Structure 1
Amino acid sequence: MGTTYAALDVGGTAIKYGIVNDRKQVLSSHTIDTEAHKGGAYVVQRICHLAKELSANTDVEGIAISTAGQVDVWCGSITDAGPTMPGYSDRAIITAVENATKLPVEVENDVNCVALAEHWAGSCQKTDHFVAFTLGTGIGGAIFINGALYRGHAFSAGEWGYMPINGKGFEETASINALLNQVRKALPEETIRNGEHVFQLYDQEHPLVVPLVEAFYHTIAIGIRTVDHILNPEKIVIGGGVTQRGTSFLYELTEALKNVHPTMAAKVVLATSGNQAGMLGAVYHFQAMQKAREAIRQ
């Protein structure tokens, strides 16, 4: 079984939690609602309860947490959280969970954990220079330089969603939420369930949906090309719910990239860690941070 860890992936909608070992295996996984509308203090209590439950039932080395929001990884607090997590900013996650479990705890931003998972167990193994984009409710990002995660001065590097593209924030026009809003506005008499439904209409060549999806791809391509010009990575890995479209998504995005600029040195790949990326990345981060803290103590 190897060394085991309790792992939690805390999002604005759901918390995934389970046991992960140092062999890159997710041994168990469960999901519950975050209930973020009840406030940051409640969410932290929920995290503590789940961590205690996991550590009580399994002999674990520590607690590894991936979470929404910008994270100061050294003190383990949330430096900033968006509107989907009200009252979550300034919460001291490490202190609260260590007090609850009496075990070592490490915490990292959720999109950074996606990148860490891809570097450890996914499509960017043995890749020292890459960037990650996650396309979902918003747009997140992460940066790997010289084989290490780059967090920036205030732990907020890779926040692509806030880049201005054509006069608007990137995620205002190129997230799945933005696409859903545009399609619902164009088809007010039809119930548009989710992003999968939008792409079904796109595949059926719906005359009002096709130009909206093409504009969506074009804006994503502009954002990716912008980051590619600035950082010159070896790979660009794309994660998030939209990638469930698989090779069709990759082909459509590649065509949009060609329309923006005919050549690009970076290889665009899809994330392969799936829904377990947050937990896997959190464990990889836990291992690295524990080594870093030990080196400082010596």
Structure 2
Amino acid sequence: MRNYISIDIGGTAIKYGIITENAEILLKDKMDTEAYKGGTEILNKVIRIVEKYFFEYEPIGICISTAGMVDTEKGEIFYSGPTIPRYAGIKFKEELEKKFSIPCEVENDVNCAGLAENISGVAIGSKITLCLTIGTGIGGCILIDKKIFHGFSNSACEIGYMHMFDSDFQTLGASSILTKKVAERKQESEETWSGYNIFEEAKKGDNICISAIDEMVEILGRGIANICYVINPEVVVLGGGIMAQDTYLRPKIEKAIKKYLLPIVFQKTRLEFAKHQNDAGMLGAFYNFRSKH
């Protein structure tokens, strides 16, 4: 059985483990990203992860999913927001292949999540898939016939930066904005609130929490509808921690999308909530590697 090391680098945590050639996750673990230390320290963490498993599992490839804009041919980061300072220019593929003498492939984390859902998740068989992850920001991915659409310069579907109401999509619609709004309106510390707490209170009838969620959903509905007019996806997949609230959010998001989409388009657009959740990045990184080797 051939094994692969798969690593998913996010702004908060690095999730990693061993995946078999049959896409079975043998083991997994995670560590804090400590993003404030910058890109070089993240590269060092990745090297230590590979060293940890290298001799025991004899991997034949290193699969990386990461935040930031990725040059997939070079396997390096060419742009990253302020969440991970000094990340642009980190050459994962070059450094890891030189050190371990096995191939390495690198892809954007949202692209990996979308690929995982398209191959073994809720979008199996979909010809055109739009995947969004709603978290600290909003990321997007387009897949056409199970292939990631990268655009001309590897920056396709950076939908979080779409301009909306003198702001942008992720500043208005990300789940991180939810906690800020509730804390401000309740005049409490932001640390006392999480997405989970907000939804629990909303289910009990807390009007401030309900209002904040509805405002977020309205922004998501408008943004998703606008993207659907451009690419006409068969399936829209929503991921990110907040989307674990499937039962509560589904009717609200469907209603918001329906408000902005022509009925003929809405009727032919399926909404799904991601299946793989925390494993999506690792699985997608593996699928990406396998597609190239």
Asked if Structure 1 and Structure 2 have the same fold, meaning a TM-score greater than 0.5 normalized by the shorter chain, the answer is: yes
Q: What is the CA–CA distance in structure 1 between the aligned matches of 2:124 and 2:208, rounded to whole Å?
A: 41
Q: What is the CA–CA distance in structure 2 between the aligned matches of 1:272 and 1:39, rounded to whole Å?
A: 31
Aligned to 2:272: 269
Contact 1:192–1:198 (Cα < 8 Å) also in 2: no
Q: What is the CA–CA distance in structure 1 between the aligned matches of 2:45 and 2:122, rounded to whole Å?
A: 32
Q: What is the CA–CA distance in structure 2 between the aligned matches of 1:216 and 1:53, rounded to whole Å?
A: 41
Once structures 1 and 2 are overlaid, which stretch shifts more, 213-222 or 195-204? 195-204
Contact 2:183–2:193 (Cα < 8 Å) also in 1: no
Aligned to 2:68: 69
C-alpha distance 214-262 of structure 1, shift in aligned 2 (>3 A)? farther
- The SS at the match of 2:11 is coil
The one-letter amino acid of 1:240's match is: G
Contact 1:128–1:148 (Cα < 8 Å) also in 2: no
Structure 1 unaligned blocks of 5 or more? 291-298
Alignment of 1:126-205 (within 5 A): 126-189=125-188, 192-205=192-205
Percentage of identical aligned residues: 32
Q: What is the CA–CA distance in structure 1 between the aligned matches of 2:210 and 2:223, rounded to whole Å?
A: 20
- How far apart are 1:262 and its partner, in Å? 6.3
Aligned to 1:10: 9
Aligned to 2:286: 283
Normalising by the residue count of structure 1, what TM-score does the alignment of the two structures yield? 0.93
Aligned to 1:254: 254
Alignment of 1:19-38 (within 5 A): 19-38=18-37
* Number of residue pairs aligned between Structure 1 and Structure 2: 289
The one-letter amino acid of 1:232's match is: N
* Alignment deviations for residues 13-40 of structure 1 (CA, whole Å, 9 cap, x no partner): 1111100122221110001111111111
- How far apart are 1:50 and its partner, in Å? 0.7
Aligned to 1:213: 213
Give the RMSD, CA atoms, in angstroms: 1.4
The one-letter amino acid of 1:162's match is: Y
Contact 1:24–1:121 (Cα < 8 Å) also in 2: no
Q: What is the CA–CA distance in structure 2 between the aligned matches of 1:125 and 1:146, rounded to whole Å?
A: 10
- The SS at the match of 2:236 is strand
* Alignment deviations for residues 114-135 of structure 1 (CA, whole Å, 9 cap, x no partner): 0111112111111121110000
The one-letter amino acid of 1:235's match is: V
Contact 1:13–1:34 (Cα < 8 Å) also in 2: yes
Q: What is the CA–CA distance in structure 1 between the aligned matches of 2:201 and 2:171, rounded to whole Å?
A: 21
Aligned to 2:244: 244
- How far apart are 1:187 and its partner, in Å? 0.8
Contact 2:115–2:146 (Cα < 8 Å) also in 1: no
* Alignment deviations for residues 272-297 of structure 1 (CA, whole Å, 9 cap, x no partner): 0121111100011001122xxxxxxx
Aligned to 1:108: 107
- How far apart are 1:267 and its partner, in Å? 0.2
Q: What is the CA–CA distance in structure 1 between the aligned matches of 2:188 and 2:154, rounded to whole Å?
A: 44
Q: What is the CA–CA distance in structure 2 between the aligned matches of 1:51 and 1:256, rounded to whole Å?
A: 44
Aligned to 2:49: 50
- How far apart are 1:259 and its partner, in Å? 3.1
Structure 2 unaligned blocks of 5 or more? none
The one-letter amino acid of 1:224's match is: I
Contact 2:116–2:280 (Cα < 8 Å) also in 1: yes
Contact 2:112–2:280 (Cα < 8 Å) also in 1: yes
